[in-house]
């Protein structure tokens, strides 16, 4: 037991240094020495929560409960993990157990009450869901919407201009907003553009052109600008593909979404946007984007963004060599590129808990062959053999995906056939990772580039998320 406690203490030290993976290694070694101590599992659960491995956290908490059914911290960890993957109906039972065991715990009581509200809200939203609900644009008279003389920004007419883009970029740096008319105008224009695109966009890189693939940006506006500063701004010869998760967590999500949308307006044939798992209503309600839209603009802006997110393509095929999608591969080896081409994403606005769309947005690679349960608690994991079969069957060199923090900003896995790129350095101000982006020229060689986080104004991540979420992060 002394050896196990020593390993646990080393894990605690690593955790304090924000070395979540190192902490997990020590907690795992402690468990190998003594697998009957529940606190080792709850400590590892907390480190897994930090790594967004919520499925693993739930498994660890459940094991701790199996060892000691009265261990309140284990119920707390499992409740947090289920809440963070939006499984409120599962979380509520554990919050109730924590309150019952520790009736004086005000934080747990507040979480239980918040979870009750979420369960009721989810039921209400499901009850009023209408398949063909009218657009939030109905009744929006942009033509007659007045931009007041006091507005100090560049005016936008029918077409996006470089002058407007430059002004917008600077406005956002200094905390200024766009006029709501222009916000509506940009969202509606891009919604129409992306709606008309295929579910899997197919593009080539012409001679003397370059395409840059970026991963998650998660509302880290100043780090997005750092990519452009280092790598060049979008142009007709320098295209960009942003591979989902533009929003949530970071507190400049509206700024990122609007800037990316403005570039899509400017260069519709050279600037591409794939949908991520955070371009969905349930994630936006929990992780801050809905609250940010309401705080900076209004609820209608969020609803229009939601409609535009559901219109986004789910994948981009680059030069018939690289399938680029946010999450990863599938539960069935029979799935091909043609199945993605045939998928009518407009019939299903939200990805749900199963099916092709969900898997494209949520799955992750694993080192072991075959398929396994998701460490996130949503979707699944796929091994190198799955990737190899998919690439060979579809004539691909590799799959490029995002969706996960990588400490160097990117990682090449599965014998070079699965590449993860993540473009939010120092993620949530709490993980000491680099960001990365991939440049692809007409020879289709992948050029990996890493970059560090840059300073930003003193606004914390998750500033617009609900208060109960903040206390769990």
The catalytic site residues sit at 278
SS3 track for 47-106:
HHHHCCCHHHHHHHHHHHHHHCCCCHHHHHHHHHHHHHCCCHHHHHHHHHHHHHHCCCCH
Distance CA 116, CA 122 (A): 10
Q: Which residue has the tokens 């009581």?
A: 109
> How many CA atoms lie less than 13 Å away from 211 in the CB half-sphere?
27
The β-bridge partners of 412 are 419
**249-282 core/surface letters (b: 16 or more CB in 10 A; e: else):** bbbbbbbbbbbbbbbbbbbbebbbbbbbbbbbbb
Distance CA 244, CA 274 (A): 5
205: CB partners within 8 A, 6+ apart = 211, 239, 318, 319, 440, 441, 442, 444
Q: Which ranges of 267-412 does DSSP label H, i.e. alpha helix?
A: 281-287, 289-296, 299-311, 337-342, 356-362, 384-394
User: What does the angle CA 56 – CA 4 – CA 69 come to, to the nearest 5 degrees?
Assistant: 55
């Amino acid at each position: 037991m002394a050896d196990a406690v020593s390993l646990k203490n080393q894990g605690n030290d690593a955790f304090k240094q924000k070395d979540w993976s190192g902490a997990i290694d020590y907690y795992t070694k402690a468990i190998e020495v003594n697998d009957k101590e529940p606190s080792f599992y709850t400590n590892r659960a907390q480190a897994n929560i930090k790594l967004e491995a919520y499925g693993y956290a739930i498994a660890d908490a459940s094991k701790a409960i199996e060892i000691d059914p009265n261990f309140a911290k284990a119920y707390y960890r499992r409740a947090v993990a289920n809440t963070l993957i939006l499984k409120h109906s599962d979380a509520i039972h554990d919050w109730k157990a924590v309150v019952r065991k520790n009736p004086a715990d005000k934080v747990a009581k507040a979480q239980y009450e918040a979870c009750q509200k979420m369960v009721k809200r989810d039921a209400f939203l499901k009850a009023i869901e209408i398949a063909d609900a009218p657009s939030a644009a109905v009744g929006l008279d942009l033509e007659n919407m007045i931009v007041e003389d006091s507005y100090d920004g560049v005016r936008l007419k029918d077409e996006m201009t470089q002058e407007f883009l430059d002004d917008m970029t600077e406005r956002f740096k200094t905390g200024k907003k766009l006029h709501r008319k222009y916000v509506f105008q940009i969202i509606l224009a891009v919604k129409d553009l992306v709606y008309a695109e295929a579910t899997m966009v197919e593009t080539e890189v012409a001679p003397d052109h370059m395409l840059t693939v970026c991963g998650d940006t998660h509302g880290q506006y100043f780090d997005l600008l750092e990519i452009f500063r280092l790598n060049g701004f979008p142009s007709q010869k320098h295209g960009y593909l942003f591979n989902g998760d533009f929003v949530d967590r970071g507190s400049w999500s509206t700024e990122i979404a609007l800037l990316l949308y403005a570039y899509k307006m400017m260069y519709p044939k050279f600037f591409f946007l794939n949908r991520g798992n955070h371009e969905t209503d349930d994630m936006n309600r929990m992780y801050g984007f809905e609250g940010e839209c309401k705080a900076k603009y209004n609820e209608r802006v969020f609803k229009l963004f939601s409609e535009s997110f559901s219109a986004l393509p789910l994948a981009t095929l680059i030069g018939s060599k690289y399938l680029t999608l946010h999450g990863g591969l599938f539960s069935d080896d029979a799935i091909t590129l043609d199945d993605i081409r045939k998928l009518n994403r407009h019939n299903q606005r939200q990805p749900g808990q199963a099916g092709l769309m969900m898997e494209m947005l949520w799955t992750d690679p694993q080192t072991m062959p075959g398929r396994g349960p998701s460490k996130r608690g949503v979707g699944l994991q796929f091994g190198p053999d799955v990737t190899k079969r998919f690439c060979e069957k579809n004539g691909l060199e590799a799959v490029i995906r995002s969706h996960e923090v990588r400490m160097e900003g990117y990682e090449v896995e599965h014998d070079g056939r699965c590449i993860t790129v993540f473009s939010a350095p120092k993620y949530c101000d709490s993980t000491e990772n680099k960001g990365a982006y991939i440049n692809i020229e007409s020879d289709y060689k992948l050029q990996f580039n890493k970059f560090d986080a840059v300073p930003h104004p003193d606004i914390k991540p998750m500033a617009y998320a609900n208060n109960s979420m903040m206390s769990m992060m």
